[in-house]
Structure 1
Amino acid sequence: MIWHFRLITLIPVVMSLLGSVSCFVIGTEAELRALSQVMQGRFNNSSSTLLIGEVVGGIDYYLIGIALLIFGYGIYELVISDIDPRLHDQSTVRRNLLSIESLDGLKQKLTKVIVVALIVTAFKSMVSFKVSTANELLMYCAGVLMLAFSAWLIGKVEKH
C-alpha cells in the first residue's frame, strides 16, 4: 500500500516535462522571430545587439527546458522506475547525461545546467552593456572573468 504512494511523484514529473516542452516552444519562437528579422533584413548595426540578445534568450529557454527535462527524468528514475530499456538488455553502454543513480547525482547535473543557463543569461546582458566610464569597463571585465572562471569550474567538476 505505502509503496504505491511513490506514484504521487508522477505529478512533478509530468509537470516538469510539460514545462520543458513549454520552454522549448518559447525558445523556438524566440529563435524563429530573430531568424525572421534577419531574413527580412529588418535590422541594422544598432538593432543587431538586440537581435543577438533575442537569439541568446532563446538558447536560455532551451537550457531551462533541458534542466526541467533532467529533473523530471531524474525524479522518475529515482522514485518510480528505471526508464532506459538498455538496462534490461544488460548493455554496458548508457547515456551519461540522463543516467541518474542518486539524488546527489541529480543535483549535480541540474547544477551544471543551471550554471550554464546563468552564463548564457549574463552573456545576453553583457552584449547590450554600454561602456562609457573606466569604472563600467572594469565591471564589464570583472563580469567576463567571473563567467570564464565559472565555466572553468564546471569543467573541473565534470572531470572528477
Structure 2
Amino acid sequence: MRFDKRVEQVTENLLWAVRFLAIIPVLFGLISVINLFLLGSLEIIEAIKQYSHLHENHSQAITKVMTNIIGGIDLYLIGIVLMIFSFGIYELFISKIDVGRANKEIRILEIHSLDELKEKVLKVIVMVLVVSFFKQVTAMPIQNYQDILYLAISIILIAASSYLMHKSHSGNQNKSSHE
C-alpha cells in the first residue's frame, strides 16, 4: 500500500474515532437532566408544604405556591432541553438508539440532522422562556395602568412569537412533504 494511501486511511480512522468524544457532553447532559428533575421536584414539594400553610396570608401564600410550581415546571423543561440535546448528539455522532426505535409510537427524541436538533431545542427553550415569564409575572406587583399595558404587550409578543414558530414549523413540514 502506498504511503499517501496509508496516511489517508489512518487520518480517516482517527477522525472517525474522534466522534466518540461527543459522549462527554452526552454524559454531562444526562447528569444535568437528573439534577434538574430532582431540583424541579424539590420546588414542587416546597409548593406542597406551603400549600399546607395557606391559612396565613391567603394571597401571598397562593403566589408562593404558584411561583414554586412554575419554578419546578421551568426546571423540568430545562431538563427536557438537555435530554433532547443529549439524545440528539448521541444519535448524530455515536449511534442510533435501538431501544428507542423499537417503540414506533414515540418519535420525539429521534433526530436526523443538526438543524432538526436545533429546531427541537429552540422550541423547548422558547417554552422555558414563556414559563419563566409567567413566573416573573406572578410575583410582579401591578401598581398602575402602565404596568398592565406592559404586561398586555408582553403577552401579545409571546403569542405572536409562538404563532410564528408554529407557522414556520408547519411551513417546513409542508415543504419537506412536497419534496
Q: Does 1:46 align with 2:66?
A: no
How far the C-alpha of 1:125 sits from its partner, in A, is 0.7
Distance across 2 between alignment mates of 1:155 and 1:95: 21
Moved more, 49-58 or 103-112: 49-58
Change (3 A) 1:68 1:113: same
| Higher-helix-fraction structure | 2
| AA in 1 matched with 2:159 | A
| Cα distance, 1:100–1:42 mapped onto 2, change above 3 Å | farther
- Percent identity of paired positions between Structure 1 and Structure 2: 34
Does the Cα contact within 8 Å between 1:86 and 1:94 map onto a contact in 2? no
Mark the runs of 5 or more structure 1 residues left unpaired by the alignment.
Answer: none
Contact 1:21 1:65 in 2 (8 A): yes
Q: Which residue of 2 is the match for residue 75 of structure 1? A: 89
**Counterpart for residue 58 of structure 1:** 72
Identify the match of residue 30 of structure 1 among 19, 38, 43: 43
> Which position in structure 2 is the counterpart of 1:131?
142
TM-score normalised by L of structure 1: 0.89
Task: Count how many residue pairs are aligned between Structure 1 and Structure 2.
Answer: 157
Shift of 1:85: 3.4
Q: Which residue of 1 aligns with 2:154?
A: 143
| Larger relative contact order (CA 8 Å, sep ≥ 6) | 1
Does structure 1 residue 17 correspond to structure 2 residue 30? yes
Could you tell me which runs of 5 or more consecutive residues in structure 2 were left unpaired when the two chains were aligned.
1-12, 172-179
Larger radius of gyration: 2
For the residue of structure 1 that corresponds to 2:108, the secondary structure is coil
TM-score for both structures, normalised by structure 2: 0.80
Deviation at 1:86, TM superposition (A): 6.3
**Structure 2 counterpart of 1:35, one-letter code:** I
Equivalent of 1:120, from 128, 131, 146? 131
Residues of 1 paired with 2:69 and 2:87: CA distance? 27
RMSD: 1.9
Counterparts of 2:100 and 2:140 in 1: how far apart (Å)? 48
**1:136 Cα deviation after fit:** 1.4
The one of 102, 122, 135 aligned to 1:111:
122
In structure 2, the residue corresponding to 1:140 is in which secondary structure? Answer: helix
